[in-house]
Every structure is written in C-alpha cells, then in structure tokens.
C-alpha cells in the first residue's frame, strides 16, 4: 500500500492552496489601493474650474468693495483667468513584490523526498485558522491632497512640478472709468440740440462731457482762484458719469444734467473769485473793469438779529436782483448824487400809492430790487416790502463792500467769514 505517499501529496496540495490564497490577497490589496488613489485625484478640468471660480469671485468682491455695490453686479474680470495645465502627474511607484507560485505537483514531477520544496517565498507551515499570517500584508499608502500655496508633499508618488507664476497686467481704463456695458444700438456721436432721443454709448457720453466743459468760464485770472478751474470741470464730468452709470443713457436727459452742472460750476468759480477780490480796488466807470476786483457777484449777508420775516425779505431781494443782473446784463454801481436819490424816493412813493395794502405802516418801506445804487438808473423793475432795518442793511452792504464802477453779474446769499466780511460759501462740490 502507498498510504505514506498519498499523505505527502495531500500535505503538498494544502501548502500550495495556502500560498495561492496569500498571493490572491496581496494582489487584491494592491488593486484596491491604486483604485482609491485614482478615484480621489482631481482631474485637470476640475482643477481649472475650481481655480477660475476662485479668481472670478475674488475679482467680484474687490470690485464691490471699491464701488459700493453688490458683488453680483460686478462685470467680468478685465483680464480673464488662464488655467495652466502642469501636465501629467509624475509618480514613482514601488513595484509590488513578486509572488512566485509553486509548481503544481504531478505524477511526473512529484519528488520522493519528504515534503514539497516550495522555494524561499513559500510558507513552511500552515497556521491554524485565526492566527497571524506568516507573510506580512503591505500597508496602504494614502496620497495627500495638494497643499495651498503650491507646497506639495514630498512623497515620491505625489511629487509634481509647480506651474510657473502668472503675471496679470491690468489693462488701462478709459477716461472716467467705465462701470457699465454699452447698450445695443447706442450712438457713439453727440451733437448739442436738446431734443435728440438717442441713447448714447460710452464714447458718445465722453464727447458730450468734452463739449459742455467748453462752456465753463473761469471767473478770475489763472492762479488767483482758491479752487482751480479744472476742479469744477472734473465735477461736471463726475455728475454726468454718475447719471450714466446709474442707467441714464438718453441724450436729452444727459444734456439737462450737463447744463445744470456747468451752470453750477460757473457760479461756484465766480463765488470763489468774489471772496478773493481786492476790496480796495478802484474801478473805472462804464463797465471796463476786470474780474474779480471790478466785476463779479454781489453777496448779501444776514443782518444782526434778523427775524424770520426779514430773512424771507432778504432772500426775495436776492432772487429778484439776481434775475435783473442776469437778464439785463451786469449792473454797475453808480455814484449816488442828489438827483439819483430824489429819483429813487419818487419811484418808491409811486409804488406805495399803487399798492397800499403791501405797506400797512411806516416801518414797512419800499425796497428796490436791486438797490437803487445798482444802475444804470435809480429806477427799479421790481419792489419788495421790507422792514426799514432790512432795507438799510442791504444798502449799507452794497456801499461798504463794492467800489463805484463794480459790475454786478449776479446776487447770491452770503455768510460772515472769520474776519466778519460778507463772503460766498464755496464747498468745492457741485
């Protein structure tokens, strides 16, 4: 009987099957490791999408912070993000251990020696179920995700070259920084006519600004104004661009804003020059004097202890006198002769007789608007009922603050400066 040989063959098959099982476990662990690494890696397209979204978000937040508007209204970045593909990831993988399967015994190669010869990698004994295996299983290696700032892990399997740094060069902005896109069909040209219903493109708005700023008139010689002339034209451009960026593109509407703005600019420049004039200047008669010493605005300040009614009388005087100066040309301050005084008194008597209800008692007098010293004649086109004190205050300010021959181009409300002089307030903002 050959029972010993049969038992040897049975033990050989058990050892072979155990070695094959261990090899299968090793192969399965390696497959799972590489599959997990591949599934968790970020594709180039996903990385580009993530970096582009972060770049656009940062631009929108910066735009919102500098313009005081929601980030959702921000336009596209002036320089779009360009994603650089660093190329395929360079990896160095330690090859898995080679497992050499034993030769399956057969009748022709089964040795007669006691037990099979498995080689160096085969186990020499099969442990009982549940005990520690003889061949160690390789530990799983986890690939760390890319770190911020371009710092990569030093593991050989994940090392890859960093992309070169990007240099973003901002493109120059046009005059008056554009905050909105042109509408389809808008007009790039501009002609002043006051009735055009075109919607202007940004180029057309720039032409409108340049045209209306030519209407600015600096009221005093260059270098003598406290506020330079270009400050006021910049203010005009700012008001027009604010309206345009807020959605006003209609040509006629923008013209109205431009006309109002340039009017305020000319007035503000004149106010500034008025305050810096030589109050001791001697002005030639006949309107031949120059600004600001002998031509410009006339400021009318409150009198001490002025009541509410008297303030309303003063403001009414300013409005009517200013209309006279602007509608009929500059009014010259004339010398008060006896003939002029008598003519002014006669005109006041006629006004009181024609409207007795406006002058109920002697303390309410006939106020000339403008005052009778502003020629060319002592006659006036309009009269205002006012207290005797208010009438004296207005006449006294004209006599004290302006020389004979001064040409009044307009009348404005004044305020007392640090020196006590009557000046016109200049804020620097239209």
pLDDT tens digits, the chain, 430 residues: what are they? 445 555 555 555 545 655 565 565 556 565 555 554 555 567 878 877 877 787 777 757 766 766 667 778 777 766 666 666 555 555 455 555 555 545 544 444 544 445 544 444 445 555 555 555 554 545 544 444 544 444 444 444 444 455 454 444 444 444 444 456 777 889 998 988 766 788 999 999 999 999 999 999 988 876 677 888 899 999 999 999 999 999 999 999 999 999 999 999 998 998 998 888 888 888 987 767 788 889 999 999 999 999 999 999 999 999 999 999 988 889 999 888 898 889 889 999 999 999 999 999 999 999 999 998 897 666 667 899 999 999 999 999 999 999 999 999 999 999 988 888 899 888 888 8
389 and 318 in one domain? yes
Residue 105 in contact with residue 116, Cβ under 8 Å? yes
- Identify whether 3 is part of a domain: yes
309 and 360 in one domain? yes
394 and 310 in one domain? yes
265 and 310 in one domain? no
Residue 275 in contact with residue 426, Cβ under 8 Å? yes
96 and 154 in one domain? yes
- Identify whether 282 is part of a domain: no
312 and 256 in one domain? no
* Gap between the Cα atoms of 344 and 371, Å rounded: 9
**288-292: long-range contacts at Cβ-Cβ below 8 A with a sequence spacing of 24 or more?**
289/405, 289/406, 289/407, 291/219, 291/220, 291/221, 292/219, 292/220, 292/224
214 and 96 in one domain? no
326 and 256 in one domain? no
318 and 239 in one domain? no
Domain range for residue 121?
1-39+84-163
243 and 101 in one domain? no
The SS3 call for residue 102 is: coil
pTM of the model: 0.52
The count of domains in the chain is 3
361 and 257 in one domain? no
- Identify whether 103 is part of a domain: yes
303 and 262 in one domain? no
């Amino acid at each position: 009987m050959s029972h010993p040989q049969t038992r040897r063959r049975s033990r050989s098959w058990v050892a072979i099957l155990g070695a094959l099982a261990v090899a299968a476990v090793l192969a399965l662990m390696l497959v799972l490791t590489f599959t997990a690494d591949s599934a968790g890696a970020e594709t180039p397209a996903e990385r580009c999408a993530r970096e582009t979204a972060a770049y656009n978000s940062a631009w929108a937040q910066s735009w919102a912070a500098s313009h005081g508007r929601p980030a959702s209204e921000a336009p596209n970045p002036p320089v779009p993000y360009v994603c650089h593909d660093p190329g395929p990831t360079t990896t160095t993988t330690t090859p898995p251990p080679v497992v050499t399967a034993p030769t399956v015994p057969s009748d022709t190669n089964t040795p007669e020696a006691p037990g099979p010869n498995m080689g160096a990698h085969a186990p020499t004994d099969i442990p009982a179920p549940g005990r520690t295996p003889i061949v160690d299983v390789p530990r799983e290696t986890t690939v760390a995700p890319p770190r911020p700032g371009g710092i990569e892990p030093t593991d050989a399997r994940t090392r890859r070259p960093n992309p070169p740094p990007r240099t973003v060069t901002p493109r120059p902005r046009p005059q008056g920084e554009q905050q909105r896109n042109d509408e389809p069909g808008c007009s790039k040209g501009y002609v002043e006519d006051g009735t055009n219903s075109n919607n202007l493109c940004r180029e057309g708005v720039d032409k409108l600004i340049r045209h209306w700023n030519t209407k600015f008139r600096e009221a005093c010689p260059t270098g003598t104004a406290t506020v330079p002339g270009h400050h006021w034209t910049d203010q005009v451009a700012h008001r027009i661009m604010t309206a345009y960026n807020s959605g006003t593109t209609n040509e006629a509407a923008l013209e109205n804003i431009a006309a109002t703005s340039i009017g305020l600019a000319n007035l503000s420049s004149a106010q500034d020059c008025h305050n810096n004039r030589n109050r001791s200047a001697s002005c030639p008669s006949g309107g031949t004097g120059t600004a600001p010493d002998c031509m410009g605005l006339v400021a009318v300040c409150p009198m001490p202890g002025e009541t509410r009614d008297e303030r309303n009388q003063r403001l009414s005087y300013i409005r009517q006198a200013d209309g006279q100066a602007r509608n009929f040309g500059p009014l010259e301050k004339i010398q008060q002769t006896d003939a002029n005084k008598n003519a002014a008194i006669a005109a006041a008597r006629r006004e009181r007789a024609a409207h007795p209800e406006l002058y109920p008692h002697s303390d309410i007098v006939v106020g000339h608007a403008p005052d009778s010293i502003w020629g060319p004649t002592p006659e006036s086109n309009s009269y205002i009922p006012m207290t005797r004190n208010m009438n004296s205050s207005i006449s006294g300010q004209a006599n004290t603050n302006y020389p004979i021959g001064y040409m009044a181009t307009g009348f404005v409300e004044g305020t007392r400066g640090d020196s006590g002089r009557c000046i016109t307030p200049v804020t620097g903002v239209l």
